[in-house]
Chains A and B, each alone.
Chain A
């Protein structure tokens, strides 16, 4: 492969324009097929029985009555999913989460499943399954779970990352630490030190489409899975391993995806659907209810974070320290570790230390949620940064500019930064009209910064040129928000043809090589790299065909604006050959023309954003409205600016919901009290203002166009920006997210009582 991923400045024809997306027409006419919109002949309805207990030993399961019900074709328990994980602890956890093996570990944990001829029969069958539980003490709060006397969720877990292996098991699975310098020395040098503790509650990604799949396992070991997922190749690997299938014989097709935000990076019901199909000998459709989505699919971590920052009188931060405790659900994760890495990533710090603790709780297994772990850490850090600026008598933006990381700064999590956008986003905010707009009574303004790593990963792409000169682009990264449009623009750009001549699709697992899932904001970053590389390989063939047609050396043929051109005066009589001309003759010049690319998209560019938010708080009720919101973020290069704006706006809106209202509420019985959109209220249209955006483009040196990921960073600053705005409006520092009306009233009451 001859592919240079380095950035080179250039003028674009297609990239940066805003055409209509190729999948748009299907989506406005109702024709687009999502997870639940697909059916197979002879298909059964699958349903899952879930534990009503937060923590319980499964003593026995009697499925005999359910099996005898007319219309029931299969009933399964963990016995039908034997452990094939071969010592792979992470895979064992995925298996156990799909179907509880010994203990139910949270309210909603799957314990059995049925496949029946219709939904009503399946529901009746679930009621006939008799499960005998021995209920155990449970713990759902992250701080309580970390205590020594807390109920133990897994007695085989001993805290990793300590100097000595502890003698007793613990719910704290791991300790991680990042930083450099000497924080003790740094705090000793500080004129001002602020130290505070913060909490954030657990939220759900809240995709509108519940998890859905159709599984069909044949007696010869071949199988098909239609599923809404962010990563069908990863689902294939996991399902094949858990079911004992050969990966090449399991064909996974990703449906249109109705939102994921990280929540569709895990298998849950898919292994169950495959096991049901295998046992019943028929296809099985399994669709989660909304209640199941909340109770059993991936929420983010609840957190408890302590932050301490010190600064000189001149506004230089001398030391920064954070301790972060993140809930993982009942299985080990690395969520606090990510929080510890991101916490101070915006700043240039001589002395910094962060420590993360992963904590098991009797809640659903934590899954990624858009820049996972970063928003909570940013909330805590940016709150203290704001407070410290006030203490110093400095403007909040100026204080951040003074301490912002730059090219060459050693980041708080280790690497040295290349060109980055934190400074430019702060400068843009400083001069933004939003910062100067007047505020009325009970209103407050806040701003905050955010960071996300972004990710590249394994990527494989096919570009096929049709005989009519149109181009099919097959990518393996699931399109979660318009990437088929952006990747078509990239193919058009490279080939020098019109966007309308390219049609991008997401290929299934049998049609393309392995792709990592669409996470880490990698969809457009990595697949555009592979598309540029694939187009380059196709252009090489196009030039060869032209050279062959003209009977001249290929070195004398260049590709410009969609045409092969014979270079040099001696070829003055050779008229350029268009892509269409060469494609039309391809049957006689060597056959089909295609470009293929497989690569690891290294060099993802880190991304920064700064948000400004105005709120109005009703002091009588504690109710808060966001009245103006501005997002400034570095995209590296915006391939399709409208969809980049959409990512900025969507992340901000999710952050607003998280900051003000969304939270998992558990009862004392360990059961989730609000598993529905009525009681877990995500922002609706009338809750929000327009969300203004400003796209900055500081090129990523490791991508030919300078692209960075754009999807995730936008959810990092909002919790902090809104908390700063509310704190400024009410005159009390808010330390607990969400800032729901009762919490705001309680904070005001506490302030009055002194």
Chain B
């Protein structure tokens, strides 16, 4: 099958790649571009471990084709920190121990970033529903919710 040539922007950098027409954006990120921060937990859009932001919209990259990234702006976990400066969400996840095994963490951070950009002062319920597309099997979500609440407060003060 002939490859599809794609020009896109990933974490602010211009990127070009060839991918198969049926190849997911997740597979392109992980297998072609070496961006393995997004994880495949299910491949069916149920777990959110592969969450990325495409043109300001939170998506499961396992449900997006690599070819669909043409001309778009893709944000992944690898672009969340600025240099050695962690995003407040990353810092608060560490401080609150909002991760145990950490496999879901990149997806949660991307989803939480998207949530706080759209709603800087979410209630606990809004956080819980905002993150309901991301599965975590280790934490029971308690410390994740607290980390997001704390990060929201820090970001409002900034």
Listed in ascending order, the chain A residues whose CB lies under 8 Å from chain B are: 18, 20-21, 23-25, 27-34, 36-37, 120, 205-210, 256-261, 287, 289-290, 480-482, 642-643, 645-646, 649-650, 652-654, 676-678, 682-688, 690-691
A504 to B140, CA, bound (A): 26
A210 to B138, CA, bound (A): 15
Indicate whether B15 reaches chain A with its CB closer than 8 angstroms: no
**B125 contacts which chain A residues (CB < 8 A)?**
686
Contact among B20, B41, B105, B141 for A210, CB-based, below 8 A: B41
Interface residue total, chain B, C-beta cutoff 8 A: 57
Q: How far is the CB of A609 from chain B (nearest CB, A)?
A: 14
Q: Interface majority SS on B: helix, strand, loop or mixed? A: loop
**B135 contacts which chain A residues (CB < 8 A)?**
208, 677, 682, 684
**Contact present for A23 and B140 (CB under 8 Å):** no
**Contact present for B102 and A120 (CB under 8 Å):** no
A18 to B97, CA, bound (A): 9
Given A28-B93, A481-B100, CB of A208 within 8 Å of CB of B39: yes
Given A29-B80, A686-B132, CB of A643 within 8 Å of CB of B39: no
**B127 contacts which chain A residues (CB < 8 A)?**
685
A649 to B140, CA, bound (A): 5
Indicate whether B16 reaches chain A with its CB closer than 8 angstroms: no
- Subset of 17 A-B contacts with CB under 8 Å: A21-B97, A24-B94, A29-B80, A29-B86, A31-B37, A36-B30, A37-B36, A120-B22, A208-B101, A208-B135, A209-B101, A257-B101, A258-B41, A259-B137, A481-B138, A685-B131, A688-B142
**Contact present for A29 and B142 (CB under 8 Å):** no
Q: How far is the CB of A683 from chain B (nearest CB, A)?
A: 8
**Contact present for B105 and A28 (CB under 8 Å):** yes
**A685 contacts which chain B residues (CB < 8 A)?**
127-129, 131-132, 134, 136, 141, 144-145
**B139 contacts which chain A residues (CB < 8 A)?**
646, 649-650, 653
**Contact present for B104 and A208 (CB under 8 Å):** yes
A517 to B72, CA, bound (A): 46
Given A481-B138, A646-B143, A685-B145, CB of A20 within 8 Å of CB of B100: no
**Contact present for B142 and A649 (CB under 8 Å):** yes
Q: Which 7 A-B pairs have the closest CB atoms?
A: A30-B37, A258-B103, A653-B140, A27-B102, A677-B46, A30-B77, A649-B140
Given A23-B102, A682-B137, CB of A36 within 8 Å of CB of B42: no
* Given A20-B95, A682-B137, A685-B144, 17 further pairs, Cβ under 8 A: A27-B102, A29-B80, A29-B86, A29-B90, A120-B20, A207-B137, A208-B39, A208-B104, A209-B41, A256-B101, A258-B103, A259-B101, A643-B97, A646-B139, A677-B46, A686-B129, A688-B142
**Contact present for B81 and A261 (CB under 8 Å):** no
Which chain B residue has the least Cβ–Cβ distance from A289? B43
B41, B81, B140 interface centre (most CB from chain A within 10 Å): B140
Query: In residues 64-119 of chain B, which contact A (Cβ within 8 Å)?
Result: 76-78, 80-81, 86, 90, 93-97, 99-106, 109
**A677 contacts which chain B residues (CB < 8 A)?**
41-42, 44, 46-47, 135
Query: In residues 12-41 of chain B, which contact A (Cβ within 8 Å)?
Result: 20, 22, 30, 35-41
**Contact present for B40 and A259 (CB under 8 Å):** no
Contact among B44, B80, B97 for A646, CB-based, below 8 A: B97
A571 to B42, CA, bound (A): 67
Given A36-B40, A209-B39, A685-B127, CB of A690 within 8 Å of CB of B142: yes
Which chain A residue has the least Cβ–Cβ distance from B111? A685
**A31 contacts which chain B residues (CB < 8 A)?**
37
A257 to B100, CA, bound (A): 10
Q: How far is the CB of A540 from chain B (nearest CB, A)?
A: 34
Indicate whether B49 reaches chain A with its CB closer than 8 angstroms: yes
**Contact present for A34 and B138 (CB under 8 Å):** no
**B141 contacts which chain A residues (CB < 8 A)?**
653, 683, 685, 688
**B102 contacts which chain A residues (CB < 8 A)?**
23, 27-28, 32, 256, 258
A30 to B30, CA, bound (A): 11
A32 to B20, CA, bound (A): 27
**Contact present for B101 and A649 (CB under 8 Å):** no
Q: How far is the CB of A557 from chain B (nearest CB, A)?
A: 39
A69 to B133, CA, bound (A): 40
